[in-house]
Amino acid sequence: MPTALIIGASRGIGLELVRQYVVDGWRVIATARDDAGRDRIQALGAQCLRVDVANPISVSSFEWMLDGEKLDLALYVAGVIDHNAANTPPTKDAFDRVMHTNVMGAMMVIPQVAPMVEAADGVFACISSVMGSLQGTRSSDAALYRISKAALNMVVRTSQPEYPRLRMVAMHPGWVQTEMGGANATLTPEQAVTRMRQTLAHIKPEQAGQFLSYDGSTIAW
């Protein structure tokens, strides 16, 4: 039975990833930062670990919690957004909340988890966004979020050489009808996750370190 680790799975895309992988017969370990998220994950039949990736103390013992697991797939899904444009300076609280969750959390998790994925010759995907594409940026809306996702993409690029048997990618999930994406988004969580899973199942070694869309196409950095 393959094992998947889904980091940041209490709602939206993360919770749908849990649901689909459990239904498909995978053993799923997922993280949540509160009791409500834990209950939703466990109700789907997955094991839940209480981790807040924005809190260095909480995430520092993640490797110990996993206790030598071999992971066929790991996904860093945790993410938050700030909607202010570039002409509005971020508050310290907003900057810390977005950058700690979207960037620092990934930088702390990867060194602990990547060896477990590499041991299984697996795939590690960080959920990014096309809004983090430098070449594709034509708007200043959600500036802090865009900056954080561009930074997350660099986390993927700089991490990949450290784990040569690991296929690590940054992945844009599409515009999804979640609390973050809003009701007008073009994809339901079920549709987005179905396509993401198809792509993740066929990541080739030459795609390691790349920025991919949910449909497998390459996105410009």
Output the DSSP codes for the chain. --EEEEES-SSHHHHHHHHHHHHTT-EEEEEESSHHHHHHHHHTT-EEEE--TT-HHHHTTHHHHHTS---SEEEE---------TTSPPPHHHHHHHHIIIIIHHHHHHHHHHHHHHTTT-EEEEE--GGG-TTT----TTHHHHHHHHHHHHHHHHHGGG-TTSEEEEEE--SBSSTTT-TT-SB-HHHHHHHHHHHHTT--GGGTT-EEETTS-B---
pLDDT of residue 202: 97
pLDDT of residue 182: 80
What are the pLDDT tens digits along the chain (221 aa)? 999 999 999 999 999 999 999 999 999 999 999 999 999 999 999 999 999 999 999 999 999 999 989 999 999 999 999 999 999 999 999 999 999 999 999 999 999 999 999 999 999 999 999 999 999 999 899 999 999 999 999 999 999 999 999 999 999 999 899 878 788 888 999 999 999 999 999 999 999 999 999 999 999 99
pLDDT of residue 178: 84
pLDDT of residue 183: 80
pLDDT tens digits for range 201-218? 999 999 999 999 999 999
pLDDT tens digits for range 28-66? 999 999 999 999 999 999 999 999 999 999 999 999 999
Question: Which CATH entry fits the domain spanning 3-213: 3.20.20.10, 3.40.50.2000, 3.20.20.370, 3.40.50.720?
Answer: 3.40.50.720
pLDDT of residue 13: 97
